[in-house]
């Protein structure tokens, strides 16, 4: 697993890339495991998805700074659920939601895996998974996320290594697009059409 970069190498803020809140700055707290998705990676992801997410239902399961979830809301998503366990980060997310008057955003202080286990099935068009790399959460989170996907919906996965193709096949996911930025591997996966 890649080590967490020294605090001096982590950005102090990130910005929303597109949509109605374009250029809005989001602070990056100094919290264990927090590693915000880089601006250029988010820009690539939303180029892949398209700029307009009107009507989409999105889940940001490990919200952290909220950069991925607020980016989706900025681009018109009808619903964005942000899950975060850290109280200080939840407070920061709530302050940002209030500042932006982001009615489509809901923030829950909760364990993401537990929340996904009890959430209604086939509800989301996009599930964003960017758990702390060293926490061993990637595979269990991916397994829980599958049940929440609408037909042909997407999972965005950010990790320290590429996911095992055999695991993706077993879960009924296919690679749509993938990229790498330094030690970060990012993948847009799509739920395969019923066979």
What confidence tens digit (pLDDT) does each residue in 87-99 have?
Answer: 999 999 999 999 9
Assess if residue 110 is contained within a domain: yes
Tokens of 107: 């923030």
Assess if residue 44 is contained within a domain: yes
Which domain covers residue 158, as residue numbers?
Answer: 7-191
CATH of the domain at 170: 3.40.50.150
Assess if residue 186 is contained within a domain: yes
Assess if residue 80 is contained within a domain: yes
Half-sphere exposure in the Cβ direction for 18 (13 Å, CA) = 17
The pLDDT value recorded for residue 10 is 59
Tokens of 82: 């942000």
Average pLDDT per 10 consecutive residues for the chain, totaling 195 residues? 48 90 91 82 95 97 96 98 96 96 98 96 96 86 94 93 91 94 93 69
The pLDDT value recorded for residue 134 is 77
Report the alpha-carbon distance of residue 134 to residue 129 in Å, rounded.
14
> For 78-121, how does the pLDDT look when each residue is reduced to its tens digit (9 = 90+)?
999 999 999 999 999 999 999 999 999 999 999 999 999 999 99
Tell me how many helices (H) and strands (E) the chain has: 6, 9
Assess if residue 61 is contained within a domain: yes
In total, how many domains does the chain have?
1
Assess if residue 1 is contained within a domain: no
Give the residue among 11, 25, 10, 37 at the shortest CA–CA distance from 188: 37
- Positive/negative CA dihedral, 84, 176, 35, 105: negative
Assess if residue 137 is contained within a domain: yes
Contact 14, 107 (CB under 8 A): no
The pLDDT value recorded for residue 46 is 96
Assess if residue 2 is contained within a domain: no
């Amino acid at each position: 697993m890649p080590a967490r970069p020294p605090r001096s190498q982590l950005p102090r803020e990130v910005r929303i890339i597109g949509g109605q809140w374009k250029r809005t700055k989001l602070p990056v707290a100094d919290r264990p495991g927090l590693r915000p998705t880089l601006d250029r990676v988010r820009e690539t992801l939303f180029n892949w998805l398209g700029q307009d997410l009107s009507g989409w239902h999105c889940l940001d399961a490990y919200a952290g700074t909220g950069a991925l979830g607020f980016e989706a809301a900025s681009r018109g998503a009808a619903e964005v659920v942000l899950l975060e366990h850290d109280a200080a980060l939840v407070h920061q997310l709530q302050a940002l939601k209030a500042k932006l008057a982001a009615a489509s955003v809901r923030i829950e202080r909760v364990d993401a895996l537990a929340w996904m286990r009890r959430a209604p099935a086939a509800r989301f068009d996009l599930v964003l998974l960017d758990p702390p790399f060293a926490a061993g959460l990637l595979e269990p989170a991916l397994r829980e996320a599958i049940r929440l996907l609408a037909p042909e919906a997407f999972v965005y996965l950010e990790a320290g290594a590429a996911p095992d193709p055999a695991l993706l096949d077993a879960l009924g996911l296919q690679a749509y697009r993938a990229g790498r930025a330094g030690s970060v591997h990012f993948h847009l996966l799509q739920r395969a059409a019923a066979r």
